[in-house]
């Protein structure tokens, strides 16, 4: 049943029909039970809606960022005029969103194209070989540095900045053109920005990094490569309105979030996003961080141990039909799979009737690649459903800033509503703090010096417990 959608013109539409079964098949939600979810979970969704209506949700902070766009456009225009390369230093939400924007709207070969603008590189690791390879292909004097770190203390990104700041100065770069994007707290990164007299953009304090793509974190790289941030926000606003105005029986967020929660309670502990376009590949990686870091929580907001969440995976169709699909089809029945596809590609490629005498080739004549990709997605989905794997489908209208903004905001909202069902905080990440603390202490950070000996003892014990087997070269 199609509820409140225009399949040809909606920015996105969501099909949850194959998460449920009229026959109450094992692994699916009974259709009759789904009809009662409005009564069972409606109050939780209304609480989610009220935070949006009252402006108390961190999601509202992205919509309010429209006021910063004129300043960002001016800065982007200046950097585009002056530099051949843009290097973004970031990790997690400070990098994944920019990559998703770039790939969805400009494609994976942007830096190889002759488009008249600067190349854009995103460095999101401290792998020394990766850094060395990057240095071989960019002239730092002709490169603008954008250092993105909400807290300013993320150790990987801080190390990147220390290294490239020194190299940039040595190459004769203008440190006043360095751009730092962080929150407005009284911390080292803001003091450094003041000392350097460089460009400084602030992320709203209440907007976690993994939700920050619809802010200066995503807007500045978008504008640099010719994408209008206003259009990204227009798509987000469309989802915002639909979340508030669509009745429960026609509300995509309510339907999908509730079904995914119920399926998790029934043992579907892995949430796969199967993206049917290479232009969606980086979006899949952005989704993995958003879903895992927001929903993987030990405690409820009341302190009850719950071990919430489902494990996110991302796949690329049709490529991964020839790898991980075998496991999805015949492995453990612990997955729910969401397919994301594009309704209208800006270009298509028609196949001709080459080798007509060969049946393995003749049938392609007159078909297009987009048609084949769509058929293969449908065939994969139907095959999985037929053997007991619940599937849903999200279809985006086209490749445009509006549809990407809608997709970002839809999954952010989906996470926040689902967190309400689990009764957890979707905005913190306590599970990653211990690893950071050990790193700070072992690397010699002054305010963690008191814990260094404790961690060194733990490391010694951990190393003593290893069992290592080698493979010699003879």
Mean pLDDT of the 169-174 span: 95
Q: In what order do the strands lie in the sheet with 143-148?
A: 119-123, 85-89, 143-148, 179-182, 199-202
pLDDT in tens, 302-334: 999 999 999 999 999 999 999 999 999 999 999
Task: Tell me whether residue 351 is exposed, middle or buried, using C-beta atoms within 10 angstroms of its C-beta: 0 to 12, 13 to 18, 19 or more.
Answer: middle
CA 128 → CA 85, 94, 105, 123, distances in Å? 20, 20, 30, 11
Nearest C-alpha neighbor of 219 from the set 205, 204, 238: 204
Share of the chain above pLDDT 90, in %: 95
List 67, 322, 349, 359, catalytic entry: 322
pLDDT at 6: 60
pLDDT at 23: 72
pLDDT at 22: 75
The model's confidence at residue 5, banded by pLDDT at 50, 70 and 90, is low
Q: How many residues does the chain have?
A: 474
pLDDT in tens, 218-257: 999 999 999 999 999 999 999 999 999 999 999 999 999 9
Asked if 180 and 197 count as a contact pair (C-beta separation under 8 A), the reply is: no
Q: What is the DSSP letter of 151?
A: S
For tokens 């240095």, what's the residue? Answer: 135
pLDDT at 7: 52
19: pLDDT strictly greater than 90: yes
CA 291 to chain centre: 8
Contacts of 462 by beta carbon, 8 Å cutoff, 6+ apart: none
Radius of gyration for the chain, computed over Cα atoms and rounded to the nearest angstrom: 24
The model's confidence at residue 24, banded by pLDDT at 50, 70 and 90, is low
Structure tokens at 231: 């259009």
pLDDT in tens, 70-127: 999 999 999 999 999 999 999 999 999 999 999 999 999 999 999 999 999 999 999 9
pLDDT at 26: 77
Parallel, antiparallel or unpaired: strands 29-30 and 85-89:
unpaired
Q: Which DSSP string corresponds to 385-423?
A: HHTT--EEEEEEEESSHHHHHHHHHHHHHHHHHHHHHHT
Q: Any bridge partners for residue 13, and if so which? A: 395
- Per the annotation, the verdict on 293 as an active-site residue is yes
C-alpha span between 197 and 373 (Å, rounded): 51
CA 253 → CA 294, 346, 414, distances in Å? 17, 28, 6
Q: What angle do CA 432, 438, 439 make, to 5 degrees?
A: 90
Nearest C-alpha neighbor of 259 from the set 430, 105, 29, 42: 29
Nearest C-alpha neighbor of 409 from the set 63, 72, 107: 63
C-alpha span between 284 and 135 (Å, rounded): 28
pLDDT at 296: 98
C-alpha span between 264 and 275 (Å, rounded): 21
137: pLDDT strictly greater than 90: yes
pLDDT at 9: 72
Is the torsion defined by CA of 416, 417, 420, 422 positive or negative?
Answer: negative
Which residue intervals of the chain bear CATH 3.40.50.10490?
A: 12-53+232-422, 61-229
List 293, 381, 402, 412, catalytic entry: 293
Contacts of 52 by beta carbon, 8 Å cutoff, 6+ apart: 59, 60, 240, 243, 244
Structure tokens at 146: 């954008």
Contacts of 62 by beta carbon, 8 Å cutoff, 6+ apart: 207, 211, 212, 214, 215, 233, 236, 409
- Per the annotation, the verdict on 141 as an active-site residue is no
Helix (H, G, I), strand (E, B) or coil at 303: coil
CATH architecture of 12-53+232-422: 3-Layer(aba) Sandwich (3.40)
C-alpha span between 223 and 89 (Å, rounded): 17
As a CATH number, domain 61-229 is: 3.40.50.10490
List 141, 167, 329, 436, catalytic entry: 436
Q: N- to C-terminal Cα distance for the chain? A: 66
8: pLDDT strictly greater than 70: no
- Per the annotation, the verdict on 436 as an active-site residue is yes
The model's confidence at residue 27, banded by pLDDT at 50, 70 and 90, is confident
pLDDT at 3: 55
pLDDT in tens, 271-313: 999 999 999 999 999 999 999 999 999 999 999 999 999 999 9
375: pLDDT strictly greater than 60: yes
């Amino acid at each position: 049943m199609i509820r409140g959608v225009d399949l040809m013109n909606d920015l996105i539409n969501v099909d949850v029909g194959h998460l449920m079964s009229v026959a109450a098949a094992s692994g699916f939600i009974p259709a009759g039970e789904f009809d009662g979810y409005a009564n069972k979970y409606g109050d939780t969704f209304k609480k989610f809606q009220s935070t949006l209506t009252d402006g108390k949700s961190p999601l509202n902070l992205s919509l309010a960022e429209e006021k910063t766009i004129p300043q960002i456009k001016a800065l982007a225009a200046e950097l585009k005029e002056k530099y051949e390369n843009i290097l973004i230093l970031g990790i997690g939400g400070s990098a994944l969103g920019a990559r998703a924007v770039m790939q969805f709207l400009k494609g994976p070969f942007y830096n190889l194209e002759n488009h008249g603008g600067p190349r854009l590189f995103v460095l999101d690791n401290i792998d020394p070989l990766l850094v060395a390879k990057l240095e071989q292909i960019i002239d730092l004097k002709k490169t603008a540095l954008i250092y993105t770190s909400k807290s300013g203390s993320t150790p990987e990104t801080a190390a990147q900045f220390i290294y490239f700041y020194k190299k940039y100065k040595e190459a004769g770069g203008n440190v006043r053109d360095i751009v730092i994007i962080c929150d407005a707290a009284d911390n080292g990164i803001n003091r450094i920005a003041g000392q350097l007299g460089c460009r400084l953009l602030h992320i709203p304090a209440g907007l976690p990094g993994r939700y920050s793509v619809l802010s200066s974190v995503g807007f500045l790289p978008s504008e640099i490569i010719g994408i209008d941030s206003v259009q990204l926000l227009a798509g987000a606003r469309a989802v915002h309105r639909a979340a508030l105005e669509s009745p429960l029986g026609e509300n995509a967020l309510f339907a999908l979030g509730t079904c995914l929660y119920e399926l998790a309670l029934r043992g579907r502990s892995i949430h796969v996003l199967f993206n049917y376009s290479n232009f969606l590949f980086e979006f899949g990686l952005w989704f993995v961080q958003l879903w895992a870091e927001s929903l993987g929580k030990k405690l409820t907001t009341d302190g009850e141990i719950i071990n919430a969440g489902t494990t996110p995976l991302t796949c690329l169709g049709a490529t991964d039909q020839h790898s991980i699909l075998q496991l999805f089809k015949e492995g453990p029945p612990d997955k729910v799979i969401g397919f994301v596809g594009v309704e209208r590609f800006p270009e298509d490629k028609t196949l001709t009737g080459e080798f007509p005498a060969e049946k393995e080739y003749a049938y392609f004549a007159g078909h297009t690649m987009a048609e084949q990709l769509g058929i293969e997605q449908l065939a994969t989905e139907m095959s999985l459903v037929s053997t007991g794997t619940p599937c849903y489908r999200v279809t985006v209208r086209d490749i445009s800033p509006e549809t990407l903004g809608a997709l970002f905001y839809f999954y952010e909202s989906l996470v926040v509503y689902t967190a309400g069902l689990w009764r957890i905080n979707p905005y913190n990440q306590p599970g990653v703090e211990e690893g950071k603390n050990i790193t700070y202490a072992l690397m010699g950070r002054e305010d963690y010096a008191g814990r260094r000996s404790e961690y060194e003892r733990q490391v010694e014990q951990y190393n003593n417990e290893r069992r290592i087997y080698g493979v010699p070269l003879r």
